[in-house]
Amino acid sequence: MMENNMAQATMGAKLDALPNKPGGGPAASGGIKLSSRDVRVFYGDNEALHGVSMDVMANEVVAFIGPSGCGKSTFLRCFNRMNDTVAGARVTGQITLDGRDIHDHAIDVVQLRAQVGMVFQKPNPFPKPIYENVAYGPRLHGLTSSKSELDQIVESSLRRAGLWEEVKDRLDAPGTGLSGGQQQRLCIARAIAVSPDVILMDEPCSALDPIATAKIEELIHELKENYTIIIVTHNMQQAARVSDRTAFFHLGDLIELGTTSQIFTTPKQQRTEDYVTGRYG
């Protein structure tokens, strides 16, 4: 408990030192995209996340690392309120997207999720044709008025996900028939088809081989141009390769947040150093 409190204190100091403080007017491009203050998550009576505060800038890639069960996925799922779908889960604290509280009654969770897309650990394409998988989101939100517009969205989404060349001749084939890496890129295409601002990725490469992983990482680099990306990963090399900043979680606490090079070369916390040097976790 002592340790936790100390970590909190350190965190607070770090946040104060950040240039952009939350609530300082509407976030401009390059400003704060997402911000959390004292976010706690309870599963029943069990507190899984002990008050995490951090900011995510627009168009940056933030990686969450930490041992299993440290709360990084739980925290990730707070940003699009996916924890609402977990029975018995409760979230307290404040999370803002573009300066607006996502738990506010004025914000519809449907709209929020259209703005904050998510890619899951295991590829989960729908048991539908590839085309329908990508068209699913735009159809839900009524983004298109004609078939040709929808075709365009599907094609551009698949192109941006680097999948178009591989599937353009078989858009009618079921999405579940693709290989694991292709399925995951299909899920990314599905997520960007609704043109979100933020994409949350929950260990997107943990079920993939190194080649498919490399493709996804390349894709993250490209997507950074247009999206803010938060990625949870167990692979520290991956965090080092793809992210601008890295957050280290341990036992439900945010231990340290800093630029990726700083976290991996000169971590300020002993526990971060132990983890990134492979001493535990």
Residues at the contact surface with other proteins, assessed by CB under 8 A: 80, 82, 85, 87, 110-114, 117-118, 120, 122, 124-128, 136-137, 140-141, 187, 190-191, 194
- In the complex, the smallest distance separating the C-beta of residue 72 from other proteins, rounded to whole angstroms, is 17
Instruction: Give 26's DSSP letter.
Output: S
Angstrom CA distances, 252 to 68, 75, 144, 255, stand at 10, 9, 42, 9
User: Which residue lies nearer to other proteins by CB, 127 or 177?
Assistant: 127
Tokens 């079921």 correspond to 174
Which is closer to other proteins, CB of 138 or CB of 162?
138
Q: Closest distance between other proteins and the C-beta of residue 79, in Å?
A: 11
CB atoms closer than 10 angstroms to residue 100: 14
Smallest distance from other proteins to CB 187, Å: 7
Is the distance from CB of 191 to CB of 123 less than 8 angstroms?
no
Compare residues 54 and 201 and give the one whose CB is closer to other proteins. 201
Residues paired with residue 90 on neighbouring β-strands, in sequence order: 42
Nearest C-alpha neighbor of 187 from the set 212, 158, 167, 223: 158
Q: How far is the CB of 228 from other proteins (least distance, A)?
A: 16
Integer Cα distance of 265 and 5 in angstroms: 25
Supply the minimum distance, in Å, between the C-beta of residue 11 and other proteins: 28
Half-sphere exposure of 135 (CA within 13 A, CB side): 18
Nearer to other proteins (CB atom), residue 110 or residue 173: 110
Nearer to other proteins by Cβ, of 82 and 91: the residue is: 82
Least Å from the CB of residue 84 to other proteins: 9
Query: Within the chain, what is the greatest distance between any pair of CA atoms?
Result: 60
State both tokens at 257.
């947040």
Give the DSSP letter string of 78-130: HTTTGGGGSTTEEEEEEEEETTEETTSTTS-HHHHHHHEEEE-SS----SSBH
- Least separation in angstroms between residue 189's CB and other proteins is 12
- Closer Cβ to other proteins, 120 or 164, answer by number: 120
Q: Which is nearer to other proteins, 190 or 271 (CB)?
A: 190
